[in-house]
C-alpha cells in the first residue's frame, strides 16, 4: 500500500488535492493511505516551499498547485 502525503496549510486547493488523490486511487482500484501535513515545521523539514505539495512513499512528486489527474495516476501506479 502506498502512503501519500499532501502538504498544505489547509487552503482550498489543498483539500481539492486530497480529494483528487482519493478519487484517482479509487479509479485505479488501489488503497492508499493519505496523510495531510499542515504543520509548517514538518513542511519545512520535507523541503516543501510551494503548496499544495504531494509525496508518494516519501518521494516528492509535486509542488505548487493542484496536480493533474493524469500525473497522479502515473505516480500512484508506478
Partner 1 sequence: MTTETHDPIHHHRAPDWLWYVGVPLVATLGWLIYGQLIPMSEWVTALFPVARDSHTGEAIAFFVYDVPKVLLLLTGIVFVTGVLRSWFSPEKTRAILAGKRQIWGYPLAALLGVLTPFCSCSSVPLFIGFVSAGIPLGVTFSFLIAGPMVGPVGLGLLYGLVGWQIATIYLVFGFSIATLSGFVMGRMGLERYLQDWVRDLNAGPTGDLPEARLTLVDRLKIGVEQVREIVGKVWIWVLIGIGIGAAIHGYVPEDMMLRIMGGEAWWSVPAAVTVGVPMYTNAAGVIPIVEALLGKGAALGTTLAFMMSVIALSLPEMIILKQVLTLRLIAIFIAVVAAGILATGYLFNFLL
Instruction: Provide the annotated active-site residues.
Output: 11, 14
Q: How many Cβ atoms from other residues are within 10 Å of residue 14's Cβ?
A: 20
33 vs 74 by CB, closer to partner 1: 74
78 binds partner 1 (CB under 8 A): no
Note whether 11 binds partner 1 by CB under 8 A: yes
63 forms part of the interface with partner 1 (CB under 8 A)? yes
Does 76 help bind partner 1 (rule: CB under 8 A)? no
Distances (CA, A) of 12 to 9, 16, 52, 57: 9, 6, 10, 24
Q: What residues does 78 pair with on adjacent strands? A: none
Amino acid at each position: 500500500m502506498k502512503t501519500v502525503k499532501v502538504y498544505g496549510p489547509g487552503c482550498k486547493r489543498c483539500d481539492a488535492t486530497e480529494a483528487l488523490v482519493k478519487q484517482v486511487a479509487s479509479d485505479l482500484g488501489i488503497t492508499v493511505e493519505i496523510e495531510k501535513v499542515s504543520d509548517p515545521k514538518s513542511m519545512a523539514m520535507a523541503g516543501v516551499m510551494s503548496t499544495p505539495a504531494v509525496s508518494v512513499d516519501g518521494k516528492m512528486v509535486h509542488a505548487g498547485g493542484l496536480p493533474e489527474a493524469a500525473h497522479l495516476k502515473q505516480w500512484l501506479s508506478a
